[in-house]
Amino acid sequence: MFILCSNAMIINNKFQKKRTLCSWKNPIEAPKKGELGKGSISWRQLKQLDFTHGMEMETLEAELIQYQTPKVSSYIFNFGFLAGMFYVIQMISGFELALHYVPDTALAYESVYIHIMREVPYGTYYRYIHTNGASFFFIIVYIHMAKGIYYQSFLTKRKAWATGMIIYFLLMGTAFLGYVLPWGQMSYWGATVITSFITSIPYLGSSIVEVVWGGFSIDNATLHRVFVLHMLLPIIMGAVIVLHLKYIHQAGSSAATIAVDTKIQGFFTKLAPYFYLKDLYGLSLVMVIFLYMVTHTPDAMGIPLNADPANPLSTPRHIVPEWYFLPFYAILRAVPSKGLGVIMMLSSIIIFFFIAELRYVSIVLWLIWNRGLLFMGPRTRARYCKLVQTPINLAHQYLSFIFYGNFLFLGWIGVKKPMFWMYILFGQVSTLLHFILIVCLATSSGFHSYAMHGYFLFKDIKFPTTRWERFWGNVKQFFIDMI
């Protein structure tokens, strides 16, 4: 009898767990098609519904197989998977290179260009896979970030966006350190110029530079520091990637925002095997291009001057970073002052991390632009919000493409040499436009969020009918539910 009861309990637990994998976490019932927003469900409550995956994150099967994914996910959503694959490629090829690299100023260049590329079996392929893999990694990450800006992921999935930006900062630091390790002519002078920016810090700048260099100039101690950090940062990046995936699975895919009125159970399907096959198909196409570049044009994305050994007595005429740093390099050159240029360059990178917080600028603008909403009834406000949310979303999409074009234009300005007055002027205008567009993107996202919130919040609920009661009720709901 005890065995039968135990078996019954086990079967019941398995059945309950299976139901949990496909059920809604929130006690509010899942809306049916065409009924989204009906009743007294606010937009705040609607966002708390677990309609994106609907499963408890308890088992590996729930995360890798049964995870519910929107069916409308196009190939633009493959780039997160591609970035993870290139992270693995970089880790494997970098480990192989680290076994043969010598972090010494007298031997570093020979260990790369002579020992690894000529004496180590398949060493040339390992190095070219690593160098071209870094470029492909940045291409994929930039496209992945562009998708996040387009679908307003920085507003709807803040934790995932924050961890993604931390990964991006770590990737930039790792790429710069790896750029120094071959100890070519551009590596040495690039490290000299970039580390000298620390001297812009008042009072403490010179002392900090000496600590970073390990002396009064770039030497063996500096190269050892660079090598150790280049091996350490990818490990930290891997830990942040795990957090990034965790927050993405909690918040759901951005594809769910494509069709709001189809947020029903049938709109999703399990992750395996459909999306794995789609990801592998996209990976195969990218790998064909990647392997072609590795075997036929391995130096196409590099700098030819870096093939010469480092010479501290000969300064290159033009010190240029790798192509993925060119937009920020153009911002640095657009400002005549060294200290202000460094601040602008760092701000242009860090502002991506705080882009979600810039939405608070839109609160004041929304209240000024739509001050009449505070005196409207709930039905009128819902109709107005539904009317304006589509144009606002369309404006955000146009602003996104303008931002992409301006970012590419900054990269084009960064590669131009020597700097004529025309390029300097274009760079200054494009730098100003870079910051303005980021604020506009955050503002348009906030407007769209408030319009969506107002539509679902006020569609069917009732407020007191007097003018001032409606005013204070709307103000209270605005600051409680949106801020």
81-108 tens-digit pLDDT: 999 999 999 999 999 999 999 999 999 9
Give catalytic status of residue 249 as yes or no: yes
Question: What is the share, in percent, of the chain residues with pLDDT greater than 90?
Answer: 34
- Which of 181-195, 306-320, 425-439 is least confident? 306-320
pLDDT tens, position by position, 132-175: 999 999 999 999 999 988 888 887 788 889 899 999 999 999 99
User: Burial of 462 by CB count in 10 Å (0-12 exposed, 13-18 middle, 19+ buried)?
Assistant: exposed
Distance of CA 145 to the CA centre of its chain: 4
Residue 120 or 447, more confident = 120
pLDDT tens, position by position, 388-422: 667 777 888 889 999 999 999 999 998 887 667 88
Which listed residue (244, 249, 263, 459) is catalytic? Answer: 249
pLDDT tens, position by position, 214-247: 888 888 999 999 999 999 999 999 999 999 988 8
Average pLDDT over residues 325-333: 91
**Range with the largest mean pLDDT of 25-34, 250-259, 325-334:** 325-334
Question: In which band, very low, low, confident or very high, does the pLDDT at 318 lie, cut at 50, 70 and 90?
Answer: confident
CB atoms within 10 A of CB 402: 14
Region at 361 (left for phi over 0; alpha for psi -120 to 50; beta for the rest): alpha
Question: What is the share, in percent, of the chain residues with pLDDT greater than 70?
Answer: 67
Which listed residue (17, 47, 100, 278) is catalytic? Answer: 278
Which listed residue (279, 396, 434, 449) is catalytic? Answer: 279
Residue 206 has pLDDT above 70, yes or no: yes
Per-residue model confidence (pLDDT) at position 374: 53
Instruction: Read off φ and ψ for residue 51, nearest 5 degrees.
Output: -75, -15
Per-residue model confidence (pLDDT) at position 337: 84
Residue 179 has pLDDT above 80, yes or no: yes
Which listed residue (135, 147, 230, 322) is catalytic? Answer: 322
Per-residue model confidence (pLDDT) at position 227: 94
Give catalytic status of residue 53 as yes or no: no
Q: Is pTM, for the whole model, over 0.85?
A: no
CATH 1.20.810.10 domain range(s) in the chain: 37-319
CA distance 19 to 24: 9
Residue 441 has pLDDT above 90, yes or no: no
> Which of 393, 394, 431 is closest to 413 using CA atoms?
431
Helix (H) or strand (E) holding 156: helix 153-156
pLDDT tens, position by position, 11-53: 344 434 333 333 333 333 344 444 443 333 333 443 444 434 4
Question: In which band, very low, low, confident or very high, does the pLDDT at 463 lie, cut at 50, 70 and 90?
Answer: very low
Question: In which band, very low, low, confident or very high, does the pLDDT at 4 lie, cut at 50, 70 and 90?
Answer: very low
Residue 474 has pLDDT above 80, yes or no: no
Give catalytic status of residue 253 as yes or no: yes
Collapsing DSSP to helix, strand or coil, 309 comes out as strand
- Residue 249 tokens read as 């699975």
- CATH class name, domain 37-319: mainly alpha
CA distance 469 to 6: 59
Per-residue model confidence (pLDDT) at position 417: 73
Give catalytic status of residue 278 as yes or no: yes
Q: Is residue 82 a contact partner of residue 282, using CB atoms and an 8 Å limit?
A: yes
Per-residue model confidence (pLDDT) at position 418: 64
Residue 376 or 183, more confident = 183
Question: In which band, very low, low, confident or very high, does the pLDDT at 277 lie, cut at 50, 70 and 90?
Answer: confident
Residue 73 or 88, more confident = 88
pLDDT tens, position by position, 287-309: 999 999 999 999 888 888 888 89
Which listed residue (135, 253, 430, 444) is catalytic? Answer: 253
Give catalytic status of residue 246 as yes or no: no
User: Read out DSSP for 251-302?
Assistant: H--GGGGS-GGG-SGGGEEESTTHHHHHHHHHHHHHHHHHHHHHHH-TTTTS
**Range with the largest mean pLDDT of 70-79, 271-280, 434-443:** 434-443
Per-residue model confidence (pLDDT) at position 23: 35
Average pLDDT over residues 344-368: 77
Residue 248 or 228, more confident = 228
User: Read out DSSP for 363-394?
Assistant: HHHHHHHTGGGGGS-HHHHHHHHHHHHHHHHH
